[in-house]
Amino acid sequence: TEMCVTGIQGMCVSVRQAACVRIQRGMCVCPAGTVAGIGVEGVTPARGGPAGRGGGRGLRRFEEIPHTGSSGWLNLVKFWREDRFKLLHKHMERTFNTLGPIYRERLGTQSTVNILLPSDISELFRSEGLHPRRMTLQPWATHRETRQHSKGVFLKNGAEWRADRLLLNREVMMAPAVRRFLPLLDEVARDFCRLLATRVEKEGGKEERGHSLTIDPSPDLFRFALEASCHVLYGERIGLFSTSPSQESQKFIFAVERMLATTPPLLYLPPRLLWRLGAPLWTQHATAWDIIFSHAEKRIQRGVQRLRSTQAAGGGSGGAEGEFTGILGQLMDKGQLSLELIRANITELMAGGVDTTAVPLQFALYELGRNPAVQEQVRGQVKAAWARAGGDAHKALQGAPLLKGLVKETLRLYPVGITVQRYPVRDIIIQNYHIPAGTCVQACLYPLGRSRDVFQDPERFDPGRWGTQESGEGAGGGGGFRSLAFGFGARQCVGRRIAENEMQLLLMHIMLSFRLSVSSSEELSTKYTLILQPETPPRITFSTL
């Protein structure tokens, strides 16, 4: 017997009993529904992972992917009415539990395919091409265009993005660059802990072993993140640890928070229309960016004047021999990016380097405080590594891999950004569904990190899980595609090395100086404002060792 089944884009699928199904152009669909060959003009088969919905029924059309509703505008109204933007991560988790490991969603002007299994994420990244694209944050792009600012690599695409990114990588991502800026981060981390110890001894209660103080550390962590970022970017301290930090810097931190909070709802609306209408939401967003740019511009101008004075004295932008004067100085010294592009990228790095490190540090301190056994394990390794390193921060980090695991485990449970998006350059197959090239597909990190199909005992906070057993854990396949908080590949976060080392260094010095605890009644709920953060910042007890 033989019948003709309409397949992808009208192709005829000839189905014969007890035989492999041959599709025109050489694709072979076996009776179990697996794709045995390749041939539909760039369609590639999924590898590994469960068959998902439709397994055993042959290749399925894009329109058959489970979805949350066909009207993007009705969905958007529902999101606003039910205040779902704030709990977008929970919405994703519930939707995966209901619809399975892949679903489509339309919200306003945006349409995405959402996935969470590492094997499927691996398939997506194999199809990202030479110039990977992620979802453009259109409100940010519209601000740059209406204010006539240049765009940094975060908002660029194509060959222009690649050229700029390769130049930036040398100063922010490569190992020699990390070794240059790591001492600056270490200096700020040491100062933070020294000042915190003084405060604990002054304000804290006396205990048998020392003093202890219970505080909400989030304001201090935000100041630390901005101080550390500026030290690395400009090569100078901005004095946020003084008894009276500048109002200008506090205003900058508030502007970053306002910018992040107003971004999610603007993603699903036409921002240029809102700009023309002078909509209050757009005005708040644009004003926040204006404050960010103004603060960064003052710092950059100061840095440029200082570096030019050094050059005039014959020292070059790099300062005295062996002296590191910040990423700004390095980029100016190389002269491969125009000053306007340097400004654009430094501003993006500065705006993206505060909340994205301060908030994960809050979560890390909270989890260490409520998991004393884990805390003692990390502290033991840190103390031993510190003693062997003789005060060399780089060697100490290398000798304490649990610090890296601590950051990865924190970001598994509390990813800063809850999705990583790509637009595949060719048709692909995920969970046996055909996905056309150019579709926005996003890996959803919050449900990924808490999936029992991917992680054993996912609710348990265990930095050790990122050791040698990492690749064999869970049933999701996909090898290393379980930790994606900083993205992946050529388009991963450009500030990744700064953020990772900044967090690890501060956690190292905190482990050397304090014992942490939280009240057993301290429950942590989360909200989403472009980054995942605590609904109410946790209170941590710092006890001197």
Q: DSSP class of residue 57?
A: S
Q: Go through the chain and tell me how many residues it has.
A: 545
Structure tokens at 254: 């508030």
Q: Is 193 annotated as a binding-site member?
A: no
| Amino acid residing at 114 | N
CB-neighbour burial class of residue 176 (10 A; exposed 0-12, middle 13-18, buried 19+): exposed
Cα atoms in the Cβ-side hemisphere of radius 13 Å centred on 329:
29
Apex 370 CA angle, 369 and 374, nearest 5? 80
Closest of 96, 43, 87 to residue 67, by C-alpha = 96
Only one residue has tokens 């004095």, namely 239
Only one residue has tokens 């062996």, namely 322
Give the span between the Cα atoms of 304 and 175, in whole angstroms.
Answer: 25
Contact 526, 414 (CB under 8 A): yes
In 223-241, which positions are buried (b, 16+ CB within 10 angstroms) versus exposed (e)? bbbbbbbbbbbbbbbbebb
Q: In this structure, are strands 110-115 and 441-444 parallel, antiparallel, or unpaired?
A: parallel
Give the span between the Cα atoms of 247 and 423, in whole angstroms.
Answer: 42
Per DSSP, helices labelled H in 269-371 are: 271-277, 280-312, 327-334, 339-351, 355-370
| Amino acid residing at 312 | A
Closest of 361, 386, 345 to residue 169, by C-alpha = 345
Binding site, by residue number, is 493
Binding site for heme, by residue number, is 493
